[in-house]
């Protein structure tokens, strides 16, 4: 009888971290690639990348960030500050018996991955960012920036600040809220240009008021939505939302890194229709200074925010090509001095 392929073997584990415990899902063997999700997701958002990376010869590990899924959910809001999340990532690498890892993140996970690489370059040898470009710490206090962005309306990050407020909107109908939120930021279901922006809240209103209704995006099946909804119905939303409630603390905690570039080899992937990418175009243009180790920057035409799910095959190809080109990153030459490919910046892919 033939042995099962290593690429089909998925393992769930709990490891000890500063959060208490971190739940992770791993597949494959080889150089470690740590995958960090964003809001409102959990490890499941990497379900298409785990087998692809394993098949390419990597040990792919997707975590539940603290506050999500089966990972610990500390009570204090301040427990969700950025440096605590970085410490969790370092502890995961150590618990898996590795000295270094490539870290890849999407949405909030991109910012967590970037700060992990920035503050612990001894552990994270390369960084991939999906949807949210890197902007060095610093500048004005975040809460002041978000207040100014709202104008006569309220920016969603400001709306999320008061504990319990967004929870009161979401938790009575988690499935319906998630369906609307995912649709609002997906290329095939997002509101048409010129209509009310779902990133803002009318005074006295809710985010949900502006969500599209009645159709799921193509990447999200009813079964997938059920998986997401069941997880957040079980955990509640506070752990996830507490990440937004620490942005001023992060600004203070990272003062020593204000304006600092990330020098390790890096990758950026953004959706051409994703506000997280288009609003930060200047940050992408600044990559020669802020990401001097950039290998490639891809903008996927016609793609929304949920990039690794909307364009799973394209993202898998770009990720595996990038990983293979990293120094010591090729499964067939781990530990060698494999030359990195020439930078390819601001590339648009259909």
Among all residues, which ones are annotated catalytic? Answer: 107, 305
Rg of the Cα atoms in the chain = 19
* 57 φψ region: left (φ > 0), alpha (ψ -120 to 50), beta (else): left
DSSP at 249: H
Q: How many CA atoms within 13 Å lie on the side-chain side of 270?
A: 23
DSSP classification of residue 33: E
d(CA 300, CA 278): 12
Q: How many CB atoms within 10 Å of residue 205? A: 15
For residue 259, CA distances in Å to 85, 107, 132, 203, 291 come to 20, 21, 17, 35, 11
User: DSSP secondary structure string, 187-222?
Assistant: TTTSPPTTS--TTEE-TT--GGGGS--S---TT--H
Q: What's the rounded Cα separation, in Å, for the pair 43 and 13?
A: 12
CA distance 141 to 129: 23
Complete DSSP assignment for 120-153: -TTTEEEEEEESS----S-SS-HHHHHHHHHTTS
d(CA 104, CA 110): 7
- Among positive and negative, which fits the CA dihedral 153, 204, 213, 70? positive
CA 198, CA 58: separation in Å to the nearest integer?
A: 38
Helix (H) / strand (E) containing 320? helix 312-325
Give the whole-angstrom CA distance, residue 281 versus residue 254: 23
């Amino acid at each position: 009888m033939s042995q099962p392929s290593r690429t089909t073997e998925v393992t769930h584990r709990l490891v000890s971290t500063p959060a208490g415990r971190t739940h992770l899902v791993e597949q494959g063997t080889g150089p470690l690639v740590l995958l960090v999700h964003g809001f409102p997701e959990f490890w499941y958002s990497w379900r298409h990348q785990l087998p692809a990376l394993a098949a390419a010869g990597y040990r792919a590990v997707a975590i539940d960030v603290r506050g999500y899924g089966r990972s610990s959910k500390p009570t204090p809001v301040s427990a969700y500050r950025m440096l605590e999340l970085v410490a969790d990532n370092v502890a995961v690498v150590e618990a898996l018996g590795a000295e270094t890892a490539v870290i890849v993140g999407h949405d909030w996970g991109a910012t967590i991955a970037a700060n992990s690489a920035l503050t612990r370059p001894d552990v994270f040898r390369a960084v991939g960012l999906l949807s949210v470009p890197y902007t060095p710490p610093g500048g004005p206090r975040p809460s002041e920036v978000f207040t100014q962005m709202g104008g006569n309306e309220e920016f969603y990050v400001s709306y999320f600040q008061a504990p319990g407020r967004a929870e009161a909107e979401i938790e009575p109908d988690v499935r319906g809220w998630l369906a609307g939120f995912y649709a609002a930021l997906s290329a095939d279901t997002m509101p048409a240009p010129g209509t009310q922006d779902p990133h803002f809240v009318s005074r006295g209103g809710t985010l949900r008021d502006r969500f599209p209704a009645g159709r799921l995006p193509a990447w999200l099946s009813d079964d997938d939505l059920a998986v997401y909804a069941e997880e957040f119905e079980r955990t509640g939303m506070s752990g996830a939302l507490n990440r937004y409630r620490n942005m001023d603390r992060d600004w203070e905690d990272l003062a020593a890194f204000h304006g600092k570039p990330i020098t390790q080899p890096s990758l950026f992937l953004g959706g051409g229709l994703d506000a997280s990418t288009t609003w930060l175009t200047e940050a992408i243009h600044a990559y020669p200074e802020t990401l001097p180790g950039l290998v490639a920057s891809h903008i996927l035409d016609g793609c929304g925010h949920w990039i690794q799910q909307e364009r799973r095959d394209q993202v898998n190809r770009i990720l595996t090509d990038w990983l293979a080109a990293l120094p010591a990153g090729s499964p067939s030459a781990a530990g060698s001095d494999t030359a990195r490919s020439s930078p390819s910046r601001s590339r648009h892919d259909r």
